[in-house]
Amino acid sequence: MALQIKKRTLDCLMAQAGQSFTAREIAHWIFAHFPKECAAKKAASNKLQSDEQLLTQLAAEIAAGRPAWQEKHPQLKTTEERPRHYYWSELDAATEVEVAEAPASSAASDTARQLAECDLYPMIMDYLRAEQDVYAMRIDEKRSSNKSGSGANEWLHPDMVGLEDLSSDWGRPLRDCVKVMAEQCLRLWSFEAKLLLNRSNARKSYFQAVSNSSWAHMGYLVAARIEGDGTLKELRMLAATHGIGVMLLDTETPTESQIIIPARERQQIDWEMCNRLAEENPDFVEFLARVRRFHQTREINRNDWAKPSYEV
């Protein structure tokens, strides 16, 4: 019996709805569940001399067939990162975002419960400290004054801010020289975090990051998942115009996260916006105090950044 690669792929995903797999993992599933069909496919080809070559061929056929399959089966969905992950969902893009952002059940165990956005903040901090040498802190919206009414701060201040010491590898003579000359030796970063980006919320989330993070030298939209064909293309087009970058957060191993669209550096801080943020939120006042102390000493006070400033 000929191996029906499309049918078997859909069988795999529908049998495990809610879970995502790479094309290679789907190929392994097909190989394990339909050995006779796989053996017949290998025997019929002069190029497939081993099981490894067969698995590679199956994965390639899955990847090649995906665009056409998705036209007929919109429930077949993929992530945007590489390697691409495939999954089956009956939910539309907007509902997927609602489900991802829904509060986790208090009855769920710590290991089983769904990630909430607040879970992302310490992960982002770990990645920034380990890989970007950026010291980050949380800007808690619950502490904002809300002078402009409910929901107004959603487009005002970022989820997190960070300080990067550009002089960390400099010797003392150069650091002292730069201090006297008042040259810039730091970058300020700003971050908007999302559990999920797809075609339903990508533009809104990106422009929220533009609104919240354009005051800084570097602004980023950070996502735990990026899904849907074309979502990353949309984000790249927006980044080319507006300069806010995109990070993909690895929630299993945060230090393996990656910048998939680099931010365009802003040469000057928008201090007028910083003043507005400080008027609204005491966490941002504390951030400015840490920046001031760095300017005075040209050194990072690690006690300032020892514990993350966020609430779970």
Residue 218 forms beta bridges with which residues?
Answer: 189
Average predicted confidence (pLDDT) for the chain? 86
Q: Comparing 202 with 92, which gets the higher pLDDT?
A: 202
Q: What is the pLDDT of residues 197-213, one digit of tens each?
A: 998 899 999 999 999 99
CB distance 86 to 192 below 8 Å: no
Residue in this structure with the two tokens 């609204």, named with its chain if needed: 280
CATH code at 5-90: 1.10.10
Q: How far apart are CA 83 and CA 222, in angstroms?
A: 19
Domain coordinates in residue numbering, the chain = 5-90, 117-297
Q: How far apart are CA 212 and CA 205, in angstroms?
A: 10
Q: At what angle do helices 231-242 and 202-213 cross, to 10 degrees?
A: 30
pTM of the model: 0.74
Contact residues for 32 (Cβ-Cβ < 8 A; gap 6+): none
CB distance 205 to 238 below 8 Å: no
Residue 290 in tokens: 């840490």
Mean pLDDT of 286-292: 94
Q: How far apart are CA 156 and CA 28, in angstroms?
A: 47
Give the DSSP H/E element, type plus range, for residue 295. helix 282-297
| pLDDT value of residue 167 | 73
Judge whether residue 15 has pLDDT over 80.
Answer: yes
151 phi-psi bin (left φ>0, alpha ψ -120 to 50, beta other): left
Q: What pLDDT band is residue 111 in, cutting at 50, 70 and 90?
A: very low
| pLDDT value of residue 93 | 77
Closest CA to 70 of 26, 9, 16: 9
